Amino acid sequence: MYKALLLVVTAVLALFVASPALQRLLVYHQTEFFTEMWLLGPEHMAKNFPVNITTNKSYNIYIGIANQLGSCAYYSIEVKFRNQTQSVADTFNRTPSSLPSLYSISAFVADKETWESPIAFSFDYAYSENTANASLSKVNVNNILFNGTKLDLEGFSATWDPESSGFFGYLFFELWIYNDTTGGFQYHELYTSLKFNMMVQAD
């Protein structure tokens, strides 16, 4: 008899715990906090990004941030440029590229708000041909004109990529966020990039 009573009480308690009404009391609502970052093409859409570029021609894109962190955030977008062999931000280890920042864009973004900014850029580069070995030919980039500011890239070069048939460079944007505790910016584990084929113009 006691065994039967114990089974009944256990069954009733199990039903009570499993009831939706009680679950609403026991399960706490959890909010995921995050930041979004994106690039848009010249028509303010996620397409028609510049890919095949030529020297000293201006290109336009847009960069944006959406803050879903639960409070206002102070962001810094670090602009970097690399060739095929240079360091990129490491998604697996959550570390930024070791390359120096060429330009910084700062923005205060309120919680649940978005921020967006137009970007205009052009590259000044020259083709250096190696007639003895075409694979050693390269493009030397002198500077990038970024939102009206000249960014020196003297010494930067991109060698011929035989697999993809081009001289490639990568303009990328790392997102950093201000940390009140440390009193400085820290990498926010987000980056986005554009890959360019720096076309050689015929003489």
- Using one digit for the tens of pLDDT, what is the confidence trace for 2-25? 554 444 445 444 544 444 444 444
Rounded Cα–Cα distance for residues 178 and 101 (Å): 16
CB 147 within 8 A of CB 63: no
Give the pLDDT band of residue 42 (cuts 50, 70, 90).
very high
> What is the predicted pLDDT for the residue at 10?
54
Contacts of 106 (CB under 8 A, 6+ apart): 74, 75, 76, 77
Percent of the chain at pLDDT exceeding 70 = 83
Give the pLDDT band of residue 129 (cuts 50, 70, 90).
confident
Q: Decide: helix, strand or coil at residue 173.
A: strand
Residue 112 has pLDDT above 50, yes or no: yes
What sections of the chain are H helices per DSSP? 2-18, 20-26
Residue 132 has pLDDT above 90, yes or no: no
Domains of the chain (ranges, CATH numbers)? 32-198 (2.60.40.10)
Residue 1 has pLDDT above 70, yes or no: no
From the list 120, 153, 152, the residue with the least C-alpha distance to 139 is 153
- Choose the weakest-confidence range: 99-113, 131-145, 181-195: 131-145
> What is the predicted pLDDT for the residue at 17?
46
Q: What integer best gives the mean pLDDT of the chain?
A: 87
> What is the predicted pLDDT for the residue at 44?
95
- Choose the weakest-confidence range: 46-50, 135-139, 155-159, 193-197: 135-139
